[in-house]
Structure 1
Amino acid sequence: MEDHRSLFEQEIRKLKVPVAKVFLKNGKIVPAVFAKSSEVIGTSDKDAVNAQFPKTVAQTENKILKATGNLEKKITGKRVAVLFSGGPAAGGHNVVVGLKKILGDGNTLFGVKNGPKGLLEGTLFEITDEMVKEIVNTGGFDFLGSDRTKIKTDEQFNAVKETVKKYNLSAIVVIGGDDSNTNAAILAELLYDMGVQVIGVPKTIDGDLQIGSYLPISFGFDTATKIYAELVGNILQDTPSSRKYWHFVKLMGRAASHVALEVALQTRPAITIISEEVKEKNMSLGTLVQSIADVIAKRASKGINHGVVVVPEGLIEFIPEMMKLIAELNEVLAHYEVDLQNMHTMDEKKDFIYKKLPAELAKLMASLPDEFENMLLLDRDSHGNLQVSQIPTERLLIIMVEERLNEMKRHEDEVRHLNMTAEEYARFQKFKFATNSHFFGYEGRCGAPTLFDAAYTLNLGLAAGSLILDGHTGYIVAVTDLQKGGNVLALPLTGLLNIERRHGKDEMVIKKALVETNSPTFLFFASRRAVWAEKDHFTSPGPRQLWGPSAKQLPVSVALNQGYDSLAFDLGEEVQVY
């Protein structure tokens, strides 16, 4: 059972996967043809985008394409490169499988080793049928590898062109998140005159690459949230068993709380923090801590000395006072990068930075424990973002909540708003706040894909390959109507671009989709959380399933936001791919 030959891995390669009707003819997988619709998509920055991307905008007119039927003409001679960009997400291998299947024997598919960096270095290899048979329905990005290089300099652009010439490429498929697909938009414009097509595929477990009903979700989200929900469900089951621990669980998801919200809907913990709500309500760190302490104290007064707190990874960036501090730090770190590199100690760097910050922000930063203060100065990632996964927000909350609980135990007037009886307050005073902290991140990125992600990614790969054969460039593929057979679309990348502040300057990027507090998903969550806080109503969903009654369950948040009448997905007829 070595080398990816466990009993499970052997069986999932044989798994039949649903394929949308538009890719089928007489039971066989065939390319689709696309027609330009009348639906135009664009952002408030469309004029600036149109000026910067004149060639692709003129070609796409920022209109959505819809797959309308089978591509009857046989296209051969295409030489297509595919790469992974950014962090892994379950199902990526099936995008490659779908591409290889739809391109067929008359065209050549190259794999780019190690993501955008490999595209710059020209490390490509031809992908064969035997190779894709080994990776079908499997997790991870190990077949190609990935990295986070952002292609943005003239030197890098020239390197891409050299790789295109070296391999005589007709097209490039970029599998990635919002930043990676921004790169895809740039490459589509850059390579337009060379006749090279560029197509994007939506990947990110964070769920923050979605465009309303046009792009309901990115791939990898379903698998990751089901893995996390199993783990959180296990912990929730443990808490009433041991009856003495509060578990603070940080979940991956830097810029949005979709993962935390989905896991909450699947498991019903006592407390779930949604970063976007914290920002919208202008909650301070102290206010947030008080809200957590109130729930813990109230449960303790009823004799419930356990529970689970779910915390989004990027919470620290959504607390308004911390947002201001981080934004100012980003500007200072970018502007004085060389000065800081010449400093040898953290104290020296902090003293320098304090003098560059407004007084109130310098005071806030100095008030934080040294451990967290230092972490705010961590090197930014390649996209200029604070690496919040390295900041143990869950531990910061534990420290502050414990301090607040102790104050509430010492001063009865500080729990008056909780309406405790004397007996309840006495019970609360005896309560011992015992905690455990967890961060679930990498555990969810490379697991074998759920049936939904396996099917979704296969269809995305079929769509990307079909767009190339049908002669299109500058699009990101999408599948909608997930509950009734799947409707295949292509969205113009330029229609998704916005101007945002990055690295201390304005840049074109695809805007991240955040949790909307007026969305059906959030409103349902908000209607139930007080009940979940009062006493245990948790659910343990168990491991993800590929066979059986729960195998076709969609993410709850997707079903709610899209207005589906059930959690069951239907992406077409089940087909043995290889």
Structure 2
Amino acid sequence: MSEPRTTIGILVGGGPAPGINSVISAATIRSIMGGCKVLGIQDGFKWLMIGDASKTKPLSIAEVSRIHFRGGSYLGTSRANPTKKPSDLDIVFATLQQLGVSRLITIGGDDTAFSALKLDQQAAGRLLVVHVPKTIDNDLDLPYGIPTFGFQTARHVGVELVKNLMVDAMTTSRWYFVVAMGRKAGHLALGIGKAAGATLTVIPEEFSKRPIRLATLVDTLVGAIIKRRSMGRNDGVAVLAEGLAEYLSPEDFGGLEHVERDDHGHVRLSEVALGDVIKRAVEQALKEFGITTTVVTKEIGYELRCADPIPFDMEYTRDMGYCAAQFLLDGGSAAMVSIQNGRFVPIPFESILDPLTGRTRVRMVDVTSESYQIARGYMIRLSADDFERPEEMARHAALIKMTPETFRARFEYLVTSEHGGLATRPRGAYP
């Protein structure tokens, strides 16, 4: 009598990201070729947490061999959090045992990674767990320069949207404030803004003082609009990272107590009208300076999350799915998948924890990097040069009927190191 085959479970947590189906497909194919059965678990931890073993389906090679072309998640997803209570983790583990799952692949962002870590600890060696890092926010703690899967596709689609808005802005002489997804970090906003050549991009990492004052954001944008006008242009596109909302001073933002939070305690930023709040404040400030302009807000994020993956993410995620399955087949556990210099490198769960918070570390944009300084240099926003060149400062000041001294008193604080405004525009930068 032959021994029962090992069953590998696959589940997806958190928000969608392009490439999920590629991971599912590659992991399934490799697992089956390795002699295992594969069970797709629907909607992340949602049903496992209540002991419902019915929301699963066996996966076959024929079933998944072509799903890597499509966006979304073949297994669905949810933000259900099994780490709130130890009893929830007990139920999840018991349900997996009931299903015969002895090895588990989780696909998700930092919250799902934390859930995988806690489940691994709860199982104490009775369940092998590997996590595949996924998020369009690009904020999981992978080595510098290695993207989370889905980010490149989201940036690609976002650039197309911003490119069209830039043409519309120039055609109609208006400004767009584009709020790009990114719960804490500004990677996606910066990636879109830099690649598209948007007028400027504003991310939370550039502000060393916390909380960020709304007046500082407003002055940053007003200063950019003034500078742009002094260059003969009445249009522009500013890309804003949605994570700015989490760092804004509650007294300026009216508080976030009324905003719903998800199962992991995060503010649902989609319900925070960041663009509208900033737009109204900027329009009021411009009115006081005698400037009339049309400002339109646009939020992008949901348009990016379920896009069909570009070839980069298709190839990248097929590698990750294969490596996740192979890691489990080799008896590995308690690690996150990474591909470094073309090779699989498991990142142990314990190394992704922030010792201060006890949560998974979040990778922020390195504003000291040359990559960021290049991005800043090409933005149209007030820089140190504007205050070091009297003729430029006088031109900006005259536009809003100020003296150069008054203009300096109002705006020069934006270019101090305290506010991340040290970059100057390289020669040849486009207007």
**Shorter-chain TM-score above 0.5:** yes
TM-score using structure 2 length: 0.83
The residue that corresponds to 1:504 in the other structure is none
| Alpha-carbon offset, residue 494 of structure 1 | 1.0
SS for the counterpart of 2:15 is coil
Whether 2:79 is the aligned partner of 1:223: answer no
Distance in structure 2 (CA, Å) of the matches to 1:374 and 1:530:
31
Give SS of 2:375's match.
helix
Deviation at 1:173, TM superposition (A): 0.7
Of residues 12, 21, 35, the one that matches 1:93 is: 21
Residue of structure 2 in register with 1:252 after alignment: 181
Within the alignment, does 1:519 sit opposite 2:376 as a pair? no
What is the SS of the residue equivalent to 1:292? helix
Answer whether contact 1:110 1:125 (CA < 8 A) is retained: yes
The answer as to whether partners of 2:45 and 2:82 remain within 8 angstroms in 1 is yes
1:378 is aligned to 2:238: no
CA distance in 2 between counterparts of 1:164 and 1:236 reads 50
Aligned equivalent of 1:130: 62
1:228 aligned counterpart, secondary structure = helix
Residues 448-500 of structure 1 show CA distances to partners (whole Å, capped at 9, x for unaligned) of 0011110111000000000111001101110022xxxx111111011111245
Q: Is the 8 A contact 2:179 2:299 kept in 1?
A: yes
User: CA separation of 1:291/1:197 partners in 2, compared to 1, >3 Å: closer, same or farther?
Assistant: same
1:149 aligns with 2:80: yes
Equivalent AA in structure 1 for residue 274 of structure 2: T
1:393 and 1:193 map into 2 onto residues whose CA distance is 45
Which residues of 2 match residues 417-432 of structure 1 at below 5 A? 431-432=291-292
The offset of 1:376, in angstroms, is 4.3
CA contact (8 A) 2:26 2:319 kept: yes
Q: 1:297 to 1:436 in 2, by over 3 A?
A: same
Paired residue type of 1:94: S
User: Does the 8 Å CA contact 1:118/1:124 hold for their aligned counterparts?
Assistant: no
Identify if the C-alpha distance between structure 1 residues 96 and 282 changes in structure 2 by more than 3 Å, giving closer, same or farther. Answer: closer
Q: Report the equivalent of 1:172.
A: 104
The C-alpha deviation readout for 1:298-340, integer Å capped at 9, x for no partner, is 3234442111111111112234xx1xx4xxxxxxxxxxxxxxx
Q: Tell me by how many angstroms 1:163 deviates.
A: 1.6
Cα deviation per residue 1:389-433 (whole Å; 9 max; x = unaligned)?
Answer: 211111111111111112222xxxxxxxxxxxxxxxxxxxxx531
TM-score, length basis structure 1:
0.62
Alignment check: 8 A CA contact 1:89 1:140 kept: yes
Cross-structure match for 1:290: 219
AA of the residue aligned to 1:433: T
Q: CA deviation at 1:530?
A: 3.9
Alpha-carbon contact 2:223-2:381 (below 8 Å) kept = no
How many Å apart are 1:136 and its aligned residue? Answer: 2.5
Alpha-carbon distance in 1 for matches of 2:276, 2:229:
21
AA partner of residue 237 (structure 1) = V
Using the TM superposition, give the Cα deviation of residue 512 of structure 1 relative to its aligned residue in structure 2, in angstroms. Answer: 0.6
The verdict on how the C-alpha distance between 1:472 and 1:76 changes in structure 2, with shifts beyond 3 A counting, is: farther
Judge conservation of contact 1:113–1:146 (CA < 8 Å) in 2.
yes
The one-letter code sitting in structure 2 at the alignment partner of 1:490 is P
Identity of aligned residues (%): 29
Count of matched residue positions in the alignment of Structure 1 and Structure 2: 377
Q: Is the 8 A contact 2:32 2:38 kept in 1?
A: no
Task: Indicate if the aligned counterparts of 1:177 and 1:209 stay in contact, CA closer than 8 A.
Answer: yes
Alignment of 1:327-366 (within 5 A): 364=251
User: Structure 1 residues 532 and 137 mapped into 2: Cα distance closer, same or farther (>3 Å)?
Assistant: farther
Q: Deviations over 1:134-161 (max 9, x none)?
A: 41221111x1111111112232122123
Task: Name the structure 2 match of 1:342.
Answer: none
Aligned to 2:379: 529
Aligned to 2:347: 491
Q: CA deviation at 1:268?
A: 1.2
Alignment gaps of 5+ in structure 1: 1-74, 326-363, 410-430, 502-507, 535-578
**Cα distance in structure 2, aligned partners of 1:293 and 1:532:** 9
Q: CA deviation at 1:373?
A: 2.8
Which residue in the other structure is 1:434 paired with? 294
Kindly provide the amino acid, as one letter, of the partner of residue 278 in structure 2. L
Q: 1:315/1:374 Cα in 2 relative to 1: closer, same or farther (>3 Å)?
A: closer
Deviations 1:185-233 (A, max 9, x none): 1111111342x100000000000013224x7121110111111110001
Q: Secondary structure of 1:498's partner?
A: coil
Alpha-carbon distance change, 76 to 460 in structure 1, aligned in 2, over 3 angstroms: farther
Residue identity matched to 1:380: R
* Counterpart selection for 2:335 from 470, 475, 488: 475
Q: Specify the SS of the correspondent of 1:111.
A: strand
1:299 and 1:161 mapped to 2: Cα distance?
A: 58
Kept after mapping to 1: 8 A contact 2:224/2:381: no
Give the conservation status (yes or no) of the 8 Å contact 1:206–1:254: yes
Aligned counterpart, 1:189: 121
Distance 2:351 2:220 in 1: 40
CA distance in 2, matches of 1:433, 1:262: 27
- 1:16-415 mapped onto 2 (5 Å cutoff): 77-105=5-33, 106-120=35-49, 121-122=52-53, 123-141=55-73, 143-152=74-83, 153-194=85-126, 196-213=127-144, 216-242=146-172, 244-280=173-209, 284-319=213-248, 322=249, 325=250, 364=251, 373=254, 375-409=256-290
Which residue of structure 2 lines up, in the alignment, with residue 57 of structure 1? none
Distance, in Å, in 2 between the alignment partners of 1:160 and 1:235 is 46
Would the aligned equivalents of 1:151 and 1:157 in 2 still touch at CA under 8 Å? yes
In structure 2, the partner of 1:457 is 317
Cα distance 1:217–1:532, how it changes in 2: closer, same or farther (>3 A)?
farther
* Structure 2 gap ranges (5+): 387-431
Structure 2 counterpart of 1:235, one-letter code: L
Deviations 1:45-71 (A, max 9, x none): xxxxxxxxxxxxxxxxxxxxxxxxxxx
* Paired letter, 1:125: K
- Whether contact under 8 Å (1:225, 1:263) holds in the other structure is yes
